[in-house]
Structure 1
């Protein structure tokens, strides 16, 4: 019984994460998500009322934790963006107009290179061995 509950919670947590990723920037209500997951599990696993309550509580706790982590990371990203913009402004203040033009084109070129690297390193390329590595 406990093994089934643990497996169910893990499956639910995975589903919660997948749902959040699919929705992108949409707000995810932890209560609604927990309810949906609980109902789905109850239907598939024929949970008793007591199990439903326990599973719902676990799903709700997990969804709330994930939302808090998401919000924290969102704040960190925004702070980093603000710092990066402030740094860019300081650099721009030091450069001449001609240097700024060259610098802007350098930044655009670097951004294109980065995007190209991301396109080339698609899914599955992280597990590939580098030349000369034995994989042992």
Structure 2
């Protein structure tokens, strides 16, 4: 379990079982294929650097993204997070908190996969 303080509340994330994690990873790779910078941001261990890279990469990605697919992934990841012992409810967060919680969940779930180079190799192969 990973914990992070966001907006003065402690969020907790337990990694998904392998079958659910694989399904989410495949969705993520499909949506983010042209946005390697976002994947690299997720793998960044330094929080400030991760946030800076993510914001820059998101700007580059916006023109090409499938907004419905991205929205679906963000909502599904946030709904896996717990706050105050209950599942997080995206509709009661402000936008900044929602995006921070989503990045926390994505980094916790997939950060090591991309940090090990496996994700980058898949994306490079797909882009070729």
TM norm structure 2: 0.32
Which of 1 and 2 has higher RCO (CA within 8 Å, sep 6+)?
2
TM norm structure 1: 0.30
Which has more helix, going by share of residues?
A: 1
Structure exhibiting the larger radius of gyration computed from Cα positions: 1
